[in-house]
Each structure stands twice: as structure tokens, then as C-alpha cells.
Amino acid sequence: MRSDVLVEPNDLIQRVMSNGGIETFRVIDPGFHEGLRGIPSHYQMKVQKLGLPEAEKAIQSITYHISGPNARVNNNSVDNSTNVSNINSDISDHISMLRQEIQRLVSAQEEKEEALEIVDAIEGQFESGTPSKAVLKTLISALPHAGSIASIGSFLLSALGG
């Protein structure tokens, strides 16, 4: 038996015999022994041989196909997890680009601070999970008028589907 595979109590071991038959054993005690002076690491298991009805009952095949943000399976358990999901990292990248463009293009300090406050409000809309398209349009239109800022604003609006 391979020593690099973790075997625990109640695991099932199947042995395929030369005649094609399969024997199934339930592990009672894995009995793992570390290698010593030329003897490799190995198991000396205590097992219980299962009859055919017991083996068929014990062997279960459960397949879960899970996808999407915050997907999970809870079997007879309570889920107390906190989930953070960033659906579109492009949005945060474009918000960063928007801040950089304002820093680069706006020279008046007061105007720059106002524009960055607007960007904070735009970011807050996206972080809320339910951004309002009307609010975003209004906020973006209040930003300084420059081609690069307008194109980033267009991307942010298109991220909402319009």
C-alpha cells in the first residue's frame, strides 16, 4: 500500500483480485508506520471485511458540481461564513484608472478633491451590490470633462448593462 495516501478509520479499501472479483474492507485502525533504516513508510491496517450487501451499502457516490461566487454545499451543518465576492475586477481597475486620470489631468486642488469624492461615491455604488444606473450617470456626468475620463465613465455604465 502506498504510504503517500492518507488512510483514516472508516475508510473503505477495495482489493481487485486476479479473477476479477473485488473485496471491500473497512479500516478499523490504519496503523501507519514511518520508515526506519531502509524500511519504507507503510501501513499495517486492522480491517473488517465487508460482505457484498454491506459493501454496496457502504460505497456511496456523491458528485457535486458547484460554480459561481459563494457557491457551497452544506450537508446537515450550519453555515456561519462571511462571503466576499468581486464579480467584476475590471470595475475596480477602471475606478483606479479614473482616480489616476483625475490626479493627472485636474490641476486645481479643490476641483481635484471634489472629483475624487465623486469617484468615491461611484465606488460606493458598485460596492453596495445594487448600483443605481441613474445615480451613476449623474455622478459620472459631474466629473471633469476629458476624453479619458469620459471613456472610463462609459465603461462603468456599460458594466451595468447599458
Q: What is the pLDDT of residues 123-132, one digit of tens each?
A: 888 888 788 8
DSSP-derived 3-state class of residue 130: coil
pTM of the model as a whole:
0.46
Return the domain boundaries, the chain: 12-58, 89-158
Determine the pLDDT at residue 47: 93
The contacts of residue 106 (CB under 8 Å, 6+ apart) are: 112, 115, 144
The band of 86, judged by pLDDT with boundaries at 50, 70 and 90, is low
76 or 156, greater pLDDT: 156
The band of 66, judged by pLDDT with boundaries at 50, 70 and 90, is low
Residue type at position 59: I
Distance CA 137, CA 140 (A): 5
How much is the mean pLDDT over the chain?
A: 83
**Residue 69, pLDDT above cutoff 60:** no
**Residue 9, pLDDT above cutoff 80:** yes
On whether the CB atoms of residues 28 and 46 are closer than 8 A, the answer is yes
